[in-house]
Chain A
Amino acid sequence: MKPMSVVVRSVFCVFGWFVLVFGAYVIVHGHLTPGGGFQGGAVFATFFAALMASLGEGAFGESVSSRFLSTVESLGLLLFWLLGLLGMGRTFFHNFLAGSGSILFGGSVPVGPNEGALATGGTVALMNLSVGMEVVAGLTLITVYMALARLVVPDGGERGHDR
């Protein structure tokens, strides 16, 4: 993919960071507002897709390597499974941090409508972060590899398929 025009590049360089912040906000506040790991991870990964579309495919290889993304994705899945295993005292996926008062998201919630406090949720908040890591790295890897596959596929001149 060749880089797009200067208008597209400048708009992306100014406004792309808001997409990152919004994606991180949706991931972190998954236990208070609608959202969570999967939704916020998809929003976060659109930053990398827009980066490849507007700045060309070479711009991505300089910033993040695919081995780092593979490591992050595997780490996210392992952390999710480990959080389920840690509650094995009673059952698999037992929420052992909810309302226990520990420093890691351990607060308790008053019953009924209220303003949300961030330090609640227990293992749900930690699972949001781990699944968010996995979805971001996975979707970015898929986008990068499918875009770079254009280099190895010969251009047979497919133009204007109507049917």
Chain B
Amino acid sequence: MRVSRAFQLLSLFLLGGLMLAGLGGLRPFGEPADSRMDDYFIAHAQAERATNNVVTSIVFDYRGFDTLGEAAVLFTAVCSVLALFRGGVRG
């Protein structure tokens, strides 16, 4: 039992080592690859959409369709939890 547990831990550490070695292929921290779309959002969010908060204007206006899907997912999760616990709960 001890040998198999040691082997399991060793394989987990091996996976960790592979993940940390893969960090060498990433770009240096603080230099995004391509930021043309985000520069457009930052430059035009106040003129077109009249919001000071660029993140909120992206969530609700430039990419509002994704937020509609997300609200539907939250609604479905609430409906599923209510359906699972319907049997013995009143009110």
Contacts and interface: CB of A to CB of B under 8 A. Distances in A.
Touch between chains A and B, by CB atoms below 8 Å: yes
B53 A152 contact: no
A31 B48 contact: no
Contact of B50 (A36, A109, A146, A149): A109
Given A80-B68, A145-B85, A120 B75 contact: no
A66 to B, nearest CB: 6
A111 B25 CA distance: 39
Contacts, number: 119
Contacts of B26: none
Contacts of A128: 56, 60
Classify the secondary structure of B's interface with A.
helix
Given A34-B55, A36-B56, A107-B50, A146 B71 contact: no
B91 A124 contact: no
Given A77-B71, A128-B56, A145-B89, A122 B49 contact: yes
Contact of B51 (A92, A114, A121, A135): A121
Interface string A103-139: 0000111111010100011111001100100110010
A109 B56 contact: no
B50 A61 contact: no
Contact of A30 (B53, B71, B88, B89): B53
Nearest to A80: B71
A116 B52 CA distance: 7
Interface of B: 46-53, 55-57, 59-61, 64-65, 67-68, 71-72, 74-75, 77-78, 81-82, 85, 87-89, 91
